Amino acid sequence: MWFRRKTSGPPDEEKLARRKRRRRRRWWFYGGLTGAFWCFYIWQPWEFDFVPRSLPSPNPKVNPEPERLFAKGAKVLLVTAHPDDSEFYIGGTLVQLGRAQAEVTHVLCTDGDKAYYPFEDHEKNRRTRRAEQAEASGRWNARELVYLGFPDGRLRVTDKLVDDLVAVMERVQPDYVLAFDGDFPPRFSHQDHRRAGEATEKAVLKYGKARWLMRYSTLAANYVRDITDDWPTKSELLAIHKSQFFGERLERVRGMVAGRAEDDGEAIGVPLGEGFRCTRLTTR
Ligand SMILES: [Zn+2]
């Protein structure tokens, strides 16, 4: 036998309707929050791999013929996305290349002018960042700086970007191309870095004459350069990018970069290193 519980509150229909309204409001609130977060995520230029990428396994160590790379007159093309990437990721290696008198042409896909931010003076940013990069590259002895002028924070792998990179390659005739790793980037990384890496990978295949592609900022390094002795210079190079790294922030960045260098160095048993994922492209 069923008994109906006596209640002193409003009738059941009214309760149900109230519960429905509450549920609807909750849906709107959390849906709106998720939508707002997603819109912000799409707008801002950083990417996060919600599902971690599986890394190459096995990933044997390779020898990218360093005696050929760190040599007078070695033809090297470095592709970065923004000013400061070069010093941040491979400053130690660049110092060593400069010392060896390798001929490094540095291509920057964007000016890092932050034009995607609504309240930034991008003309001023462009001038400042170019000046800082010129000073830093001068310190490690870059042969030439080439700005491709693609939009900062919105770099895409277009035919134009790939063709521009191929054109520089054809002119410089590099044996070694150094670029971001577009396939195995850090899980949380700038989208311009990934796109610059992907575009360079396409360009280098089109160019077809480079001997080695060495990808930095990678989770799948198969070659590590010992930069222990060059750490003080790398640390000074970071400070040249005053518009980005200053005061406490500079110290935080130095700490972060040192942490990465320690992790990379551990792989070859040295205090500090810079890791690359290298692929032999031709036998020339
Ligand atoms: Zn960058």
| Domain boundaries, given as residue ranges, for the chain | 66-280
How many other CB atoms are there within 10 angstroms of residue 4's CB atom?
Answer: 5
The C-alpha atoms of residue 74 and residue 65 are separated, in whole angstroms, by 12
CA of 32 to the centre of ligand 1 (A): 31
- CATH code of 66-280, in short, is 3.40.50.10320
The C-alpha atoms of residue 233 and residue 51 are separated, in whole angstroms, by 37
Average pLDDT per 10 consecutive residues for the chain, totaling 284 residues? 55 88 92 90 91 94 97 98 98 98 98 87 94 97 97 96 98 98 97 98 98 98 98 97 95 97 97 98 81
- pTM over 0.85, yes/no: yes
The C-alpha atoms of residue 139 and residue 132 are separated, in whole angstroms, by 11
CA of 95 to the centre of ligand 1 (A): 19
Cis, bond preceding 58 (omega within 30 deg of 0)? yes
Strand 46-48 and strand 188-190: the pairing is antiparallel
- What's the confidence (pLDDT) of residue 227? 98
CA of 84 to the centre of ligand 1 (A): 7
How many other CB atoms are there within 10 angstroms of residue 131's CB atom?
Answer: 14
CA of 254 to the centre of ligand 1 (A): 15
CA of 193 to the centre of ligand 1 (A): 6
- What's the confidence (pLDDT) of residue 10? 64
CA of 212 to the centre of ligand 1 (A): 23
CB 111 within 8 A of CB 129: yes
Nearest CA to 257 out of 109, 141, 86, 3 is that of 86
CA of 132 to the centre of ligand 1 (A): 14
- What's the confidence (pLDDT) of residue 43? 87
The C-alpha atoms of residue 104 and residue 176 are separated, in whole angstroms, by 9
CA of 83 to the centre of ligand 1 (A): 7
- What's the confidence (pLDDT) of residue 7? 54
Contacts of 193 (CB under 8 A, 6+ apart): 81, 85, 180, 185, 217
